[in-house]
Each structure stands twice: as C-alpha cells, then as structure tokens.
Chain A
Amino acid sequence: MTKARKILENIFSRHIFLLLTMLFVFMPIYWALVISLKHEKDIMQKPVKLLPDPATWENYQFVWNKTGFSKYFINTIFVSGLSAIVIVIFAVLVAYGLSRFRFKGKKSFMLIFLATQLVPYNMLIIPLFLIYKNMGIIGSLTTLIITYTTVLLPFNSVLMKSFVDGIPIEMEEAAMIDGCNRMGVIFRIVLPILVPGLVAIGSFAFLSSWNEYIFPVMFINNKENFVVSVGLNFMIGQNVLMYGPLAAGSIIALSVPIMIFAYIQKFLVHGLSAGAVKG
C-alpha cells in the first residue's frame, strides 16, 4: 500500500509538473505552427480546427516573397552576424587581458563590467538616438551594430573570461620558453583551444542581437533597413491583418534562435552560472 502510494506520489510530483511545463512551453509554438499552415479562409472558420486541414505552404511563400520579409531576414543576419563577430573579437581581447595579466585598476574594471548588468538599457535609447542623429547615422544598420556590441560586450567578456581561465597558463609559458612571442602564443595556442568558447559566445551574441527589439524599433525608421522583429511588428500595424503570413513570419523568425539554442543549450547551465547572468 505504501509502496503504491509512493509510486503514485512520484508520478504526481514529477510527471504532472513536467506535463504542465511541456504544455505551457509548446502550446504557443504549436498554435503558431498550426495557423501558419492553414489556408487564410480556414483560419477564421468556426469551429476553429486544432490541426491545419488541409495544410498549405502558401503563407510562408507569401510572407517571404510579398512583404519584404526576405530583405528583413538578410538585414537581421547581417546585423547579428557582424555584431557577433565584433563582440567575439573584443571579448577575447578583454578576457585574455583580464585572465593573463596583473595590472593596476583590474578590480575596478571587473566591477564596472559587472555593474553594467544592472544598467536600465532603455535609458540609453534617447541619448543614443541623439548621438546617432548628430553622427548622421540614425536609421542605418550601423547604429544597431554599435548598440548591440556595446550592450552585449560586458556580459560576453565575463563569459569568455571563464573559458580563457580554463586554459592552463603553463602551455603558454612553455611556448614562450621555446621562443614564441605573445602574438604567436595567442594565435597558435590560445585561439585554437578556445574555439568551442568562441563559437558558443558568438552564437550567444548572435542570438541576443537577433532578439533585440526596442533598439531597432526606435532607431530604424525606413523599411529598407528593417530587421525581422521590426518588420513583424510593422505587419501588425497594417490595415489588413493577415494572421497566416504573420504566423509564418513568426515561425521563420523563431527558427533561427531555436537552431542556435539547440547548439548552445549545453553551455547554458554552466555558462550562465559562471558569475554573470543574462536576463
């Protein structure tokens, strides 16, 4: 009797929670997928069907070809990719500098980096807007790359430092004894070992840039330079609300972060607890 109760208890305590979580997590994605695969006329049809029957790709074709979405998509890849590359380069420099040298002001430097985690980034929007306006680059994709790099750099540097810290310094010392200089050490020893870290942080930076919304909404006003998030929001503002294409666009926009996420999720539990945490 007690054993049966225990098993029951176990099932309830774990599986009920798991089941509810899975439902909660997947329900919105499932529904967007269903809507994106329905014919436009079936979406509003009563009673609402829980499966796309018959299914169609027309929403995907429509959103990709007819709404400028492909252009937004390429813009977003460009901005996120470039930001990620710059972030990785700067973060490696910072991480290596902090990990391998002792120098004056190192502690306060670390503190400032950690403190930027608590900065309300929305407060930057207005002054940055003015700065970019004065520079004459407001509305361009450059504003986004600069902003993303600046905002994301501190966290990613701290994360990168934990990767660099993991490389034994003895290897570098041995190489230096053998006549290798600092540059040689970095390029021949540190970077090759650091590759998994570079990829993880690059992906992380790419994902964060991809997901930015408020900065592009505020800085970008011409359709030519829209990124996916702004483009999707713009579609809601249109007179005719087309749920099918909107859902299809969301699924496309969602697919990229999910693929990246599938790759970096094994670093997550370790990485995010390494002292710095993204919101």
Chain B
Amino acid sequence: MFSVNTDLRKKFNFKKFVPYIFLMPAVMLIMIFLFYPMGSVFYYSLFKYNLAKPYANGFYGLGNFIEIFTKDKVFYKTLWVTIKWVLSTVSVQLIIGLIISNVLNQKLKCRGFFRAATFLPWAVSGIITSMLWSLIYNEHMGLLNTVLLNLGIIEKGVAWTSSIDTIFGAIVVAEIWRGFPFFVIILLASLQNIPESIYESCKVDGAGKLSTFLYITLPHLKQTIIFGTILRGVWEFNNIDVIYAITGGGPANMTTTLSMYMLNQGIRANNFGYAAALTVIVSVILMILIYFYMKVMGYSEEEM
C-alpha cells in the first residue's frame, strides 16, 4: 500500500509541514502534561520540598535518596510487599489466562457468550472491583463466610480484610479477578493465528494433548507471553486502586506497595521531594526489571 509512488504522493510531500499540523495538538498535550511532569519529578527528587515544613525546603542533592536507602525501613518493607504483589497477581493471571484462552479457542457451544463473559471483569474498574469483593469478604453478610459456614469448613465468620493472615490473599484474589481477562484476550488473539493444520498433523503423528501444548502452542505464544507479562507486571506494579480502596495500605503497611508508599508520602504527608525521589527509584527499578526480563526470555529486536 505504501510502496505505490504516484505523482500525487510526491505532491503530498511538497507540503512538508502538513503532517506536523496533524500531530501538533497531541504532541503539545503530551509535552505539557506528560513529559514536563515526568521531568519535574526528577527535578524535585533533588530537593527537600515539604509543604508541612516549608522552612526546611531547598536543594538537597542526593539527600532524599540517601535517606531512603539508609534510614527508611518502610521503604524496604514496601519493596518486599511489591515483589509479592506483582509476582502473585501476574503469575496467577497468566496461568488462568493460558488455560482459559486455550479452552475458549476450541469449538464450544455458545463460545461467543463464554468469551464475552470471560472478558467482562476487564471492563470493571478497580474501585468497583473493591466494592464487589468487599461485599464477598464481609465478616457478617459476606458470600464467602456464608458458603464456608454452610459447608461446615469454618465454624465462625472470618474477617477476611482485617485479619493479617488473610488480607494479602484477599486483595490478590480481587486483583486477579480484574486482571486475568487481559491475558485471556491477548493470548486468544495470538492463538487464533496458529493454523489448524499444525494441530491436525500433530494428531496424525500421535502427539498427546500435553506435548502439543508444550511444543506447539507455548512456543507460538512466547512473544505474547513476554509482552503481556511485562505490561501487566508494570501495570500491577503501578496500579493501586484495589489496595487503596480495600486496605489503604494497612494494617501496619502490610499491603503498602512502593507505588502506594510514594503516593502516601506525596499526597498525605505532603512530602513532595521525598515522594519524587521514591518515584525516580520506582522508574529505575521498572526499567531494570523490564531489561532483565527481556534478556532472560531471550527477546531480541529481530524477532519482532
């Protein structure tokens, strides 16, 4: 389509500035409200900038970073919570996504309905997810306790979102509910590109279901899995809707991820400089993680 080179196309090129006019509004917007704020975060990170203690404000060099790495115990705790949070949510979402996308790729009755139904939580926001699951976890009228009590598995209602033993699992399950459709959607799209004939020849050669999956399907999905995992990992790393709404990071910072901590420092404690330094650390960690993940998974640009 683009290789056609008519006289007309050359005429288009005369007006060299025209394409830039098309991009102008978007570029302006992104410059002012995306790149400038991002840059300013790096700038603020070198300052002591606390609205609650304005007398101490000023250039601080790497002071914020030194404080974070040497004095801040909460930082290391939130780092650990973040690792647990990202690993548990993303891995389970990926596994469920792999299974369900394979099921939904087969010939089924009412396949359209089942697909749409599976994608459904994708459209639900974090705050609504929190509401729905809070109603399930509720100690007195929650569905979970009701069912477990009726089955005789527990004898007394459990307060799922305030007990320190269950709270982390509770928010992880809620997050998985909202996130697994993402993997189903992208994996299904990728599965549809595998020619049926490959599966047929596998059948002829006597390959079992498991080996077909391991040697045909999985390698084909590799790219999608890599990109899906990165995007979802970054997303879970950043996303705090469910945590913020269900636990607010508590109890005792048990569910405070780095992003949550960053926000709490910036907005609640008005400690902008410190929060900016945390943000810079978050960005650097993300970049390193993405880099290593791509390395480990053997992704190189030529494969694109």
CB atoms of A250 and B131 under 8 A apart: yes
- Chain B residues near A165 (CB-CB < 8 A): 1
B186 touches A273 (CB 8 A): yes
In contact, A233 and B245 (Cβ under 8 angstroms): yes
Residue count of chain A within 8 Å CB distance of chain B: 98
Q: Give the interface segment out of B60-68, B69-77, B199-207, B233-241.
A: B233-241
* Docked-complex contact A14 and B106, CB < 8 angstroms: yes
A-B contact count, CB below 8 Å? 262
* Cβ-based interface call for A68 (8 A): no
User: Do B279 and A120 touch across chains, with their CB atoms under 8 A apart?
Assistant: yes
Task: Given A13-B103, A243-B141, decide whether A210 and B259 contact each other with a Cβ distance below 8 A.
Answer: no
Contact with A along B1-39 (1 / 0, CB 8 A): 110101011001100101111110111011001101110
Mask of B154-195 contacts with A, CB within 8 angstroms, 1/0: 000000000000000000000001000010011011101000
Whether B124 and A254, one on each chain, are in contact in the complex, defined by CB atoms closer than 8 angstroms, is: yes
Q: Which of B143, B232, B266 contacts A125 (CB 8 A)?
A: B266
Are B1 and A214 in contact, with the CB atoms below 8 A?
Answer: no
**Contact partner of B272 among A22, A117, A121, A130, CB < 8 A?**
A130
Assess A22 versus B19: contact at CB under 8 Å? Given A101-B12, A120-B238: no
> Are A24 and B177 closer than 8 Å at their CB atoms?
yes
Q: 10 smallest A-B Cβ distances: which pairs? A: A97-B22, A279-B235, A211-B125, A127-B37, A273-B189, A28-B132, A261-B123, A101-B19, A150-B33, A123-B279
Known: A17-B99, A126-B275. 5 other contacts (CB 8 A): A13-B103, A50-B143, A97-B20, A254-B132, A268-B122
Residues of B within 8 A of A (CB): 1-2, 4, 6, 8-9, 12-13, 16, 18-23, 25-27, 29-30, 33-34, 36-38, 40-41, 44, 96, 99-100, 103, 106, 108, 114-129, 131-133, 135-136, 138, 140-141, 143, 145-146, 149-150, 177, 182, 185-186, 188-190, 192, 209, 224, 227-228, 231-232, 234-235, 237-241, 244-245, 259, 262-263, 266-267, 272, 275-276, 279, 282-283, 286, 290
